[in-house]
Every structure is written in C-alpha cells, then in structure tokens.
Amino acid sequence: MRRKGALQAQGRGSSTPRWAPFALGLVLLLSACGSGVSVSQGNTPQQQRAMAMWQERCKKSGEFIHKTVEGVEGVYLVNVRTYKDNFNLGEQPADQFRLSDPYGNDLKDEGYLVSFVRNSYTNGRTDLVREGWPPHKGYRFIEAHDPKDGKLYRFTGRVEEPWQLDPTKHLKGYTRFVLDRTPLKQRTLRYGVQFEDISTREEREHWIAGSSLKVIDLETGEVLGERIGYMVDWAQGSRARARQPWTFAADNACPDFDRDFPGPIKGPANKSQSQRYQTLRFVEKVLKPIQ
C-alpha cells in the first residue's frame, strides 16, 4: 500500500499551514469591506476549532493505492459530475451543507466524460505535457450513464479538422475534440471510478469538506485505490466582495491539489485551478492506460 499527502496542505517541507501567512491580509481585507464578519477581529474560536479539526483529519488523508493494473483500455464511471449537482462554490447559504463533494471539484457534465478520453487533454494545447507533469493520457473509451438522459453509453473520442470542410468558417489548422457515443444494454468494463462526499454535519458547520475517490474492481468489489481528501475555508464562509468560500478552501487542502506537479502552475494564485483533471490524474496512477 502506498500513502501520499497526509499533511500536504501545509506545503512541501513546511510545518506552517498555508493559511497562516494570509491571516493578516485577510483580516485587513474584510475590515476594509465593512462586511461585519467576525474574522475582521482576528482568529476567532470558530476559526481555531475549524483549523484544528481540519489538521486532525489530514492525518488520515492521502492516496492509498493497493494494486495497480497495466494496459487498461477503458473505465466505467459509476457517477458523473454535473453542474446541477456539483456546481457548489459556496456563494449560497445552502452550499455550506450541500454534499456535492467540493474537494473533488472537476470538470462537469460532458466535460467530465471527455476528461477521461484519450487525446482530449492535449488537443489544442501548445503547452503539452511538461517534464515531470502527470501524463493526462486518458483511455481509449469509457462507459457511463449520460446525466442528460440517464442512458448507458460507450464514449469514444476523435479530433476533427472543420477548416478542411468549410475554410470560410474556420481558420486553417483549427481542430476540435468530438465525443461520440454508442448505446449499451449493460456495462462491459471491469474497473469503475466513484466519487463520494464524506463530510459530516459537524465538519460542514466548520466549513470542512471531506471527499473519497475510489477505483474499484467491479467483478470482485475490491477497492484498488482510494484518495481521501479534506479542505477547509479559513474565513468560515465569508462572502465579502463576492468571495466563493469553497473556491478559496482549495488553498487549504490535504492532500494538496498541486501535489502531482513538480513546480508552480501558471495562472490564478488560487489552487482551485488544479482541481481540474484531478480525478483522471489519480485514476491513471491505479489503472495504467494502454499505450
């Protein structure tokens, strides 16, 4: 069994939580907003309890890989992330307790399906896989129930060059990834991927989100690998200046969302950007895609 990232939210090689350096800045920001939230007075008992609870849960977080499988052609998605069920950034009061797995946030609907299919990640990218980066290779096909109609399909992908069909509408060299589907009467693939929100009421009262991602042998019921993660919103749900609590909680996560990358990721400072494709990255560690 391999375990990674039990306390990675504290930063690599550091015992200081990521939230500590930002505490003063956040206090000043909220005070300037005149929002009246209690964190404008500094570290409150609620915040201290939340951070202590989160750090305790980090002790049981990480990636637990019990067995790997080589040469996997396809995977079955037990459940699919959707905007309807998983668009939860914390803007609304109900988002605090909605069990939509905000730690596991990823692409949604067709985007979630596409993320597992080969060549979808690299199509149209100029910054292909850099040295040391996860491969994002994907699988030749996947099977899943389409959330739009609830029916089971096998999904495959292909790259189109629409400029060759109509150069008046598309620039030369433009390509797009197309997802094709074939109806199925029953699942044919052995290995499944399932996500689950494992948060308790007490954790959500302290703006802590817990998450489980499992890779399962559907023939035997054996769990081949599981990622258990927790994140916390240090500001305890503050929405000052249209702030999104679960988005900012990504900065205090264990395991850390940047754990698979050798260096800093370009783009917004918030680590929520690294949640995209996180499901595929873990699954590929357990189910090695066929070459």
SS (H, E, C) 47-66: HHHHHHHHHHHHCCCEEEEC
Spatial separation of the C-alpha atoms in residues 227 and 257, rounded to whole Å: 12
pLDDT of residue 85: 75
pLDDT of residue 36: 32
Residues of the chain under the 70 pLDDT cut: 1-42, 86-88, 120-130, 162, 170, 173, 264-269
Spatial separation of the C-alpha atoms in residues 79 and 245, rounded to whole Å: 25
Task: Report the predicted TM-score, pTM, of the whole model to 2 decimal places.
Answer: 0.80
Of 151, 158, 154, the C-alpha closest to 74 is: 154
pLDDT of residue 171: 74
Answer whether 194's CB lies under 8 Å from 282's CB. Answer: no
Question: Dihedral angle at the C-alpha atoms of 159, 160, 164, 168, nearest 10 degrees?
Answer: -130
Count of structural domains, the chain: 1
Query: Domain limits at 57?
Result: 2-11+18-289
pLDDT of residue 165: 74
What 3-state DSSP class applies to 145? strand
Q: Half-sphere exposure (CA, 13 Å, Cβ side) for 154?
A: 12
User: Which ranges of the chain would DSSP assign to H, the alpha helix?
Assistant: 23-33, 45-58, 83-86, 110-115, 162-165, 201-205, 245-249, 278-286
pLDDT of residue 21: 38
**Buried b / exposed e across 5-21, counting CB within 10 Å, b at 16+?**
bbbbbbeeeeeebbbee
